[in-house]
Amino acid sequence: MSTGASGLAVARRSAPTVEVLRWPAQADRRPDLVASGRPCLWVLDTAELPPAVGPLEDWARTTDGERDVAARVHRLAGLAPDARTLAPGEACVDGDGMLHFGGQRISIPPTEATLLDRLATTPERVVSRDELGRLLWDGQPSNRSSLTSRIHTLRKRLRPVGLRIHAIRGHGFLLAADPVQPIEPVSVREPTRRTSWSSSSQPS
């Protein structure tokens, strides 16, 4: 369901760590956000061209549905500096195909275990689609939809144990621990001319 021009979903509890700003109207704040390592969701009108985003950025349109926008803010909140950090090797798959993480064990099929092993080697860092595709298909170019399907299936297996695979638009995927605090999506009306889209008050 689309929020239309009357509103956009944001996450109440992520407000201290994730900035929600208008693009390109507030693009001048980008250098400071990048320098401080603060995640940001850029909000675009329908006709605006999206920016090339970095690992701590994402974008959405004012017409996007609440669930989609809340998911994007949730992902960014998980990448914030104050979120739980996943250490290399903390999540690992043994020779019997069992994932060990946080005292939990779940079975992982071989193909998905290959993906997880690579992502868990450098958690919190982006691994490109090309690299993951070469791992699964013996160095041959991967089919985009096939890789996406594998990631989707693995993502569902990992969610119950507190791990999440994030898709970084235009870059690839990374493995991270879920934020400890749940995110509660709420609707926010489209701001008037004098109201900022930032999660913190800004001068008009």
Enumerate domains of the chain plus CATH numbers: 4-83+181-189 (no CATH), 92-177 (1.10.10.10)
Q: What does pTM read for this prediction?
A: 0.53
Distance CA 48, CA 117 (A): 38
On the question of pLDDT at 184 being above 80, the answer is no
Return the higher-pLDDT residue of 158 and 1: 158
Tens digit of each residue's pLDDT (9 = 90 or more) over 50-59: 999 888 899 9
Give the E-state strand segments of the chain in sequence order.
7-11, 19-22, 40-44, 57-61, 92-93, 98-101, 104-107, 127-128, 163-168, 172-177, 185-189
Return the higher-pLDDT residue of 18 and 85: 18
Give the pLDDT mean for 88-114.
Answer: 90
191 DSSP assignment: P
